[in-house]
Structure 1
Amino acid sequence: MSPVDHLDKGASLGPDEVCLTGAGRSMTYAAVQAHADAVAAALARFGVEPGDAVAILSHNDVRAFATMFGIARRGAVWCPVDPRGTARETRRLLGLFDCRALVFHPAYAAQVAEMAPHLPEVTTYVCLDDSVEGHVSLERWTAAGPHPDAARPSPDGLAMLVGTGGTTGAPKGVMLTSGNLEAMTALTLMGYPFEGRPTYLALTPLTHAAGVLCFPVLALGGRIVVMETPDVGEFLRLIGTERVTHTFLPPTVIYGMLDHERAPTTDYSSLQCFWYGAAPMSPARLAEAIERVGPVMGQLFGQTEAPMMIASMHPHDHVDEDGRALNRRLSAAGRPGPLVTVAVMDAEGRTVPTGERGEIVVRGSLVMAGYYKDPEATAEASRFGWHHTGDIGFLDDEGFLHVVDRAKDMIITGGFNVYSAEVEQALMEHPAVADCAVVALPDPKWGERVTAVLQLRPGARLEAAEAIGFAKERIGPVKAPKQVEIWPDLPRSKVGKVLRNEVRQRLA
């Protein structure tokens, strides 16, 4: 199933039901289908062939997301562009992907004007409205009606080209097929609760995890509530007023949600599953979320190359029979899904026994087709016949996968291996700590010095010596930080992940 097949499945369950809504605009399933057909016809008319790349540059917007289905209807490849990137970053990705067309929100007109002279391959520019002089509006572009060559081919080919974050080097283009998305949808529907017609609330960018999580919701004929502005207070209000059943936030945003003044009075009773992922979550704050929101928290672990569902943790895996947080599991990433095979591997390609640490590897229909025009990177990521995630972890006796750290973030201090995430989780148990980052700095005695940078909760106070002592009590003197800094905020990526590289650079 391609993205548009998920739409069509939902439409078969109720064409007049609301499919997309947000910012005063709503579209039924039938309306989104009609829009997809018109976009596919326009792409054909403007020379975009099946398999060509078409990008969308927009923040969360009902019209922009509806246009994605037209790209799929044409059999073209959807390239979701992070709207928070610079013109230089976006131009680099569009060139890397050989994009033929770009649909953009008028808010990014200046960025488009800056990029366009350097993108000769992009022959078609379409603005979501008619406010940008020199560019055709989406309404006019799709007004010509059907086209005899608009039918899409077999859905077995590429569905998405997604840029990696670039935090570990030059961005790469991840090739995701319709089969990858179908596997992700199937694993989502098998791994989490869905009762009735779901309502999904999207606060984070639809260009990332929030977007692909729409597909299983659409397959059930659900409703997508699109937030154009990422406002946590409004998010909490909408959970109650829209009777939201499913939503997703990365941990750092959940921390802000828990600290928000509206959190204690929000009505969470409609929630069936509150997904979290994209970065490790503090067990202490996860327990707080379970107590505050209810036993509805559901973890997902994946990456762009194997989207979302390498492992999943159902809400009932988080709690005991009385609905209280089951502390021994809160540091886990979940159980590997039934459609993927997950192992832990050493550097020589040998799988290691239960409980031993190594690199997490995966294979199955969830795994990408490769990196676009980069056979060397593809071969490196698929050594020994497995996809290598770059994450260090282990499997426990219950079959739960634990992610210890990124391989590149391991600290060797005094001859001992220390994992940044383990130290961060210990520090996050302190009630004054809102978030933290642990990195290695050069040290003449230890080789590398475990160094922590803390961001405190509003109004909280904490001295460095107290934080070091707190960590020593939980993880011992070897793993505890030797140096602690307190900053008003931590540097983050466009999807909210703390950037350890930038923390290192600032400290240096």
Structure 2
Amino acid sequence: MNLANLLHRAAKVWGERPALSVGRAVRLTYAEMGSRVPRLAGGLMAAGGLQRGDRVALLLKNGPEYWELMFALWHAGLAAVPVNAKLHAREVAWITENAGAKLVIASASLAADLAPLLAEQKDAPRLVEAESADFARLYDAAPLPLADDIDADALAWLFYTSGTTGRPKGAMLTHRNLWVATMNYFADVDRVGPQDCIIHCAPISHGSGLYGLPHVARGANQVIPDSGGFDPAETLELIAHWPGCSFFFAPTMVHRLVHAPQIATADTSNLKTIVYGGGPMYVADLQHALHVLGPKLAQIYGQGEAPMTITGMDKQMHVDDGHPRYLARLGSAGVARTDVEVRVVDADDNPLPAGEIGEIVCRGPIVMAGYWRNPEATAQALRGGWLHTGDVGSFDEDGWLTLKDRSKDMIISGGSNIYPREIEEVLLQHPDVAEVSVVGRPHADWGEEVIAFVVGRAGVGLNAAALDALCLDHIARFKRPKQYRFVDALPKNNYGKVLKTELRALLQAEG
């Protein structure tokens, strides 16, 4: 069950196909990558004095070495701890210490700030710069035999949550979890062939990395932009160059791409699939993206605790506009994925019927083994054998799940539950609204009141009266915002999610 077999099979079957590319240039074929990874595995084991099961942290910007390292770690029976390269050095140091990492591989530009913090730790891990001569020498080691007896439930990827409401937790993803996620991609998201590619504009340490696995499994090319990240103009140029392009995007990235000035004249015929997830995609934005790009969008709803997989909506579902509830379905999170059971439950974990709102829970072989060194959080999240997502939603009679909000984001005003997403969907219907985020502000009489932070499109003016009239035309009066705050931008984390915690903190600081 060792995930490294994905690479070694691809090296045998599609050895001459491109495996890793940067910009428009092929760096390695699958045969070359398959030859290098066992040597790198041997070098890592020797350099870190490692034993099977040890954790190795990767603090790297997107680059081809990321994939060689991931597969080398699995080849050796080690566990990867991919860390968001945009975190503060102190946050990274906390993760490496919590994970008990024995070795840290870091980009040179990130290693300098991290080194003194690692040195302070009781069991300081060895730090190796990815661009250094020390790193290059790791490939000089004798090839290490594949750890082909690795247990399916052995830790493969320690996936740290974003930690926007406190210290991040390490979701333990096993080889089994990631095999299942890979196969589920083929069952529910998209087909992949060796003629295709995935372009990693989003961080490999997060969703884009998880989506790389099914592409390796089918001998497809992994392309890293020259910039290492997301630039709409660069992305469109890469689409024009590489056939069969797929991406994992946050909804904000889809929005930026379809509104880029270059999109009007871009050749997007090579675009195969954009899988989006990780935040709300509003119906108006989705309709515009479908109009611009065509039937090339697929949605996933999942968490790091159930990677890539809880519910989804494939490309065909996105364009089934003959269905009487088409728009409601576009606003949903799709249907339960093939290998997952999904329920909506009440406060006592009793299943709720269609139409009733409660917490979304799921179970299946995709669900994490638990949180690293956190039995209390594990017991709470996995109680009763179900992953409790903390998300609130409801099913319709046909099994389509509509997300309302995170439970912590729900607003309770005058004893009534108000779901910010419902209000955000309405406000985004205004042609001059670019982005919006709705949060609750404490109120002495009502408990909370609704506040909308609104970003207008460049060069236009917005006024509260027009937005208020729009809300009164579409939702109940008690749900409409009591105040509209016009801002230049919304605070977001490194994955493009709006940080409602910061908006609420701003309101609380104002009194």
Q: Deviations over 1:178-232 (max 9, x none)?
A: 1111111111111123254321111010000000101111111111111213212
- Tell me which residue corresponds to 2:434: 434
Contact kept? 2:2, 2:147, Cα under 8 Å: no
Q: TM-score, normalised by structure 1?
A: 0.95
Q: In structure 2, how many angstroms separate the alpha carbons of the residues matched to 1:247 and 1:155?
A: 31
- Tell me which residue corresponds to 1:377: 377
Q: Deviations over 1:449-470 (max 9, x none)?
A: 1001011222232112211221
Q: TM-score, normalised by structure 2?
A: 0.94
Q: In structure 2, how many angstroms separate the alpha carbons of the residues matched to 1:196 and 1:285?
A: 30
Give runs of aligned pairs for residues 143-292 of structure 1, distance below 5 A: 143-147=140-144, 151=147, 153-156=149-152, 157-194=154-191, 196-197=193-194, 198-227=196-225, 228-292=228-292
Q: In structure 1, how many angstroms separate the alpha carbons of the residues matched to 2:171 and 2:94?
A: 15
- Tell me which residue corresponds to 2:461: 461
- Tell me which residue corresponds to 2:136: 139
Contact kept? 1:405, 1:421, Cα under 8 Å: yes
Q: Does the residue aligned with 1:99 lie in a helix, a strand or coil? A: coil
Q: Deviations over 1:215-259 (max 9, x none)?
A: 111111111111213212111221122124311211112111122
- Tell me which residue corresponds to 1:133: none
Contact kept? 1:25, 1:62, Cα under 8 Å: no
Shift of 1:271: 2.5
1:109 matches 2:106? no
Shift of 1:322: 7.8
- Tell me which residue corresponds to 2:502: 502
- Tell me which residue corresponds to 1:90: 92
Q: In structure 2, how many angstroms separate the alpha carbons of the residues matched to 1:5 and 1:426?
A: 48
| Higher alpha-carbon deviation: 149-158 or 449-458 | 149-158
Q: Does the residue aligned with 1:379 lie in a helix, a strand or coil? A: helix
- Tell me which residue corresponds to 2:330: 330
Q: Deviations over 1:272-291 (max 9, x none)?
A: 32111000101000000001
Q: Deviations over 1:279-311 (max 9, x none)?
A: 010100000000100011100010000011111
Contact kept? 2:18, 2:26, Cα under 8 Å: no
Sequence identity (%) = 35
Distance change >3 Å, CA 469–CA 309, structure 1 → 2: same
| Higher alpha-carbon deviation: 166-175 or 293-302 | 166-175
- Tell me which residue corresponds to 2:38: 37
Contact kept? 1:450, 1:481, Cα under 8 Å: yes
Q: Does the residue aligned with 1:439 lie in a helix, a strand or coil? A: strand
Shift of 1:399: 1.1
Shift of 1:27: 1.2
Distance change >3 Å, CA 219–CA 150, structure 1 → 2: closer
Indicate the RMSD between aligned Cα atoms, in angstroms. Answer: 1.9
- Tell me which residue corresponds to 1:60: 62
- Tell me which residue corresponds to 2:424: 424
Distance change >3 Å, CA 208–CA 37, structure 1 → 2: same
- Partner amino acid, structure 2, of 1:222: A
Q: Deviations over 1:424-446 (max 9, x none)?
A: 12212221111111110012342
Q: In structure 1, how many angstroms separate the alpha carbons of the residues matched to 2:82 and 2:433?
A: 34
Contact kept? 1:162, 1:173, Cα under 8 Å: yes
Q: In structure 1, how many angstroms separate the alpha carbons of the residues matched to 2:169 and 2:300?
A: 23
| Higher alpha-carbon deviation: 383-392 or 88-97 | 383-392
- Tell me which residue corresponds to 1:318: 318
- Partner amino acid, structure 2, of 1:425: E
Q: Does the residue aligned with 1:145 lie in a helix, a strand or coil? A: coil
Contact kept? 2:275, 2:300, Cα under 8 Å: yes
Shift of 1:262: 0.9
Shift of 1:155: 4.1
Alignment length (residue pairs): 502
Q: Deviations over 1:57-89 (max 9, x none)?
A: 111011122211101111100000100000110
Contact kept? 2:427, 2:436, Cα under 8 Å: yes
Contact kept? 1:201, 1:244, Cα under 8 Å: no
Distance change >3 Å, CA 48–CA 195, structure 1 → 2: closer
Contact kept? 1:126, 1:141, Cα under 8 Å: no
Q: Does the residue aligned with 2:127 lie in a helix, a strand or coil? A: strand
Contact kept? 2:44, 2:138, Cα under 8 Å: no
Give runs of aligned pairs for residues 336-485 of structure 1, distance below 5 A: 336-485=336-485
| Higher alpha-carbon deviation: 137-146 or 476-485 | 137-146
Please list every run of 5 or more consecutive structure 1 residues that lacks an aligned counterpart in the other structure: 131-135
Q: In structure 1, how many angstroms separate the alpha carbons of the residues matched to 2:356 and 2:222?
A: 41
Q: Does the residue aligned with 1:392 lie in a helix, a strand or coil? A: strand
Distance change >3 Å, CA 150–CA 291, structure 1 → 2: closer
Distance change >3 Å, CA 322–CA 346, structure 1 → 2: closer
Shift of 1:25: 5.7
Distance change >3 Å, CA 341–CA 423, structure 1 → 2: same
Distance change >3 Å, CA 144–CA 9, structure 1 → 2: closer
| Higher alpha-carbon deviation: 260-269 or 399-408 | 260-269
Contact kept? 1:40, 1:150, Cα under 8 Å: no
Q: In structure 2, how many angstroms separate the alpha carbons of the residues matched to 1:325 and 1:246?
A: 28
Q: Does the residue aligned with 2:102 lie in a helix, a strand or coil? A: strand
Shift of 1:152: 5.4
Q: Does the residue aligned with 2:247 lie in a helix, a strand or coil? A: strand
